[in-house]
Amino acid sequence: MSDLDAFRAEVRAWLETNCPPEMREPVREEGDVCWGGRNWEFKNEAQKQWLEACVAKGYTVPDWPKPYGGAGLSPEETKVLKQEMKRINARSPLDSFGIWMLGPALLKFGTEEQKVHYLNPIARGEIRWCQGYSEPGSGSDLVSLQTFGEDKGDHWVVNGSKIWTSYADKADWIFCLVRTDKANKYQGITFMLFDMASKGVTTKPILLISGNSPFCETFFDDVEVPKTQYIGEINRGWDVAKYLLGHEREMISGGGAGGDMVSIGALFAKSLGKNDHGELDDPILRAEMAAFDVDVFAYRAMGERFMDMWKTGRAHPASSNMMKYVGTELNKRRHELVMSGGGSEALEWDSEETKGGARARGWLRTKANSIEGGTSEVMLNVIAKRILDLPGA
């Protein structure tokens, strides 16, 4: 038996003992996802138990080094762990912007002291983070940021506001882009971290078309941030932000067409019915669904090629923009078809059978895919300029 096979057997046995049956059910609603943080209330005992078991083993962040709360697994071992968790439909023990976004940035740009200090609470789900990038006047155009940190010697005094801050009202800390030099457009931004409980921080949830409020407006009024709480170099926050946006795009585009996306036509065989030839009973919708399936299978092949090339340094640095663009547009198309395939049932907004209008809300939610993390139009601009080398206006 190879080391990897032995590891797989070990993981399998561990999961058998430690993953409660309730955590092997599909996620049905918001509360099923464990976000952690100072104010987190576990939905049930199983959710708590599952998080604690994974924390003890380093499995919330399996590929992070052990001193930072991870399990120090190799990429191959991490893959095995993911496969084994998927095999039993185990829920993610902890979802977190700290894991997806801040963590990778800290691992790359943080000092040793910062890594130990910030990464461990992320891995344990103790501190829930939010991201302060966009501002009312600057969405994708981050260089036009106005939130300003005035230099007061050992600290900054931050004033301004952020928008589209995901779960800011529930987060404990924020990682935030703050202008610290008004003269320099690109190199006058610092990547700061601070406690949302600091004096002068307020948040206001924004009700969205999906009926949910995952995003907030966030206001900073003379917030004091110690000079120790920044990542990378002062005025070079752009480097950190760009690195982190790459991760965000990968995540959004991955959600776009990755995961367990089964053939969409097969999903609706029941609600649409089939004709005598065993074909969906709506030839035009069948054709659209099949054309969509072609694009999904094709996008998956692209995802595989992109990852293979990315890992070996063969991919164009801007190809993540292309993946984001194609993946998010595909996901929006999928949800349009989900609504068509579901017919009047998919319209129900609050019935128990539709799990609280999950399809309708999900459809509306996807409209943000091509806006958040940089709009499709911005992605196309980047491809045109950086890959195709088309002239600037």
Does 301 help bind another protein (rule: CB under 8 A)?
yes
Amino acid at the residue 173? W
Distance CA 230, CA 110 (A): 9
Number of residues that bind another protein (CB under 8 A): 47
The correct pick among 261, 302, 364, 371 for binding another protein (CB under 8 A) is: 302
Of residues 364-383, those binding another protein (CB under 8 A): 377, 379-381, 383
CB atoms within 10 A of CB 137: 11
Q: Which is nearer to another protein, 190 or 319 (CB)?
A: 319
Does 82 help bind another protein (rule: CB under 8 A)?
no
Distance CA 238, CA 243 (A): 9
* Residues 327-366: x where in contact with another protein by CB under 8 A, - otherwise, as a string: ----------------------------------------
CB 73 within 8 A of CB 62: yes
Closest Cα to residue 253, out of 317, 320, 319, 327? Answer: 327
Kindly report the CA angle at 48 between 130 and 208, in degrees rounded to 5? 35
Closest Cα to residue 118, out of 132, 133, 129, 134? Answer: 129
The correct pick among 293, 359, 360, 372 for binding another protein (CB under 8 A) is: 293
Q: Which is nearer to another protein, 29 or 141 (CB)?
A: 141
Q: Are strands 173-179 and 155-166 parallel, antiparallel or unpaired?
A: unpaired
Does 325 help bind another protein (rule: CB under 8 A)?
yes
Q: Which is nearer to another protein, 191 or 268 (CB)?
A: 268
**Contacting range for another protein; rule: CB under 8 A; set: 71-79, 181-189, 225-233, 302-310:** 302-310
Of residues 249-288, those binding another protein (CB under 8 A): 263, 265-266, 268-269, 274, 278-280, 286-287
Residue 182 per-residue DSSP state: S
Closest Cα to residue 336, out of 303, 370, 374? Answer: 370
Bridge partner residues of 205 (DSSP): 216
| Residues engaged in binding another protein (CB under 8 A) | 263, 265-266, 268-269, 274, 278-280, 286-287, 289-291, 293-295, 297-299, 301-302, 304-306, 308-309, 312, 314, 319, 322, 325-326, 377, 379-381, 383-385, 387-393
